[in-house]
Amino acid sequence: MALKIELGDGLPLAVLDILPNPVLIKDEETRYVWANRAFETLFDVKRDEIKGLLDKELFPNRHVAQCNGGDLRVLETGEVDEAYEEVFERDGTPRETITRKNRLTLDCGTTYLVGVMHDVTEVFSANRLLEEQSSKLRELVNTDWMTGCMNRRSLFETFETMDTKGGLLIMDIDFFKKINDNYGHDAGDAAIMHFAQVIKSQLRDCDLLARVGGEEFAVFLPGIDAEAQSEHANRIRSAVENNALVLKDQHISMTVSIGGTFTDDASKADLNELLKKADSCLYAVKYSGRNSYKIAA
């Protein structure tokens, strides 16, 4: 028997065929009784072929339990259900939809479930692309392009979220200008990248490493005490001294000068002030011979 539903002033079901949204109608057993052309197009089916079928018979890969659970709830309570669904075309291609389902009871007492689907696959894909692009932009804004370390801006923003004691170190390559003069600016860039990698190799996962100047880097060591800070500084100093840059069969030796200071509570500390204190210690090391470290008392 053909489905006889009239809308408004006697408009037939055919009016639903011109809608761009897929529309489906099921009986009280959640079997398909009708679908419009947009539904046929989306799922590559014919309405006459799907009549009397359940979702599990029509869409083997669909999340049938979740879908049918919503159908039964609508039929039982009459509540409108609007939910995100991942549905599958007959060839298994996933589509992302938002489906709104209503219970329709005719004057004769027959009850149907009517669903209107909004295919949002392209919208979701565009949103994901925008999120990926935004993530990449945030990374570019917060990352030093040469070394992959945090930049100065990112260091300040991250430091503001810290609520632990810790040590701040600031360091740069000794006699860096000589590397540029003797080997060229490409070698200078390579030296900076090598320097960053050597520092990273001596840090914990929780430590913050940022490039804050040309060949100048800052490290915040959360959770350590002043004694451990000195041990970290000396370990970095030793690693730089003992790991020369190898560039085109040339071994370019480097040393580093390090200044540092300590805070008992990062959340109450002024990073600018900490950097100034550490920088003063750094210059004291430079003037006293380099390849060493000094931590502010």
- The token pair at 15 is 């009016």
Strands 208-211 vs 150-151: parallel, antiparallel or unpaired: parallel
Rounded distance between C-alpha atoms, residue 147 and residue 155, angstroms = 14
Q: In what order do the strands lie in the sheet with 94-105?
A: 32-35, 23-26, 111-119, 94-105, 81-88
C-alpha distance across the termini of the chain, in Å? 92
Q: Under a CB-based contact definition with an 8 Å cutoff, are residues 28 and 47 in contact?
A: no
| Element counts in the chain: helices (H) and strands (E) | 10, 13
Sign for the CA dihedral angle at 27, 29, 31, 35 comes to positive
Looking up tokens 């639903």, which residue turns up? 16
Residue from 79, 89, 96, 215 carrying the catalytic annotation: 215
96 assigned to active site: no
- Helix (H, G, I), strand (E, B), or coil: what is residue 186? helix
Which distant-in-sequence residues (6+ apart) come within 8 Å of 159 by Cβ? 208, 220, 266, 271
Region of residue 100 (left: phi > 0; alpha: psi -120 to 50; beta: else): beta
Q: Under a CB-based contact definition with an 8 Å cutoff, are residues 269 and 290 in contact?
A: no
Instruction: Give the DSSP letter of residue 244.
Output: P
Positions annotated as catalytic residues are 215
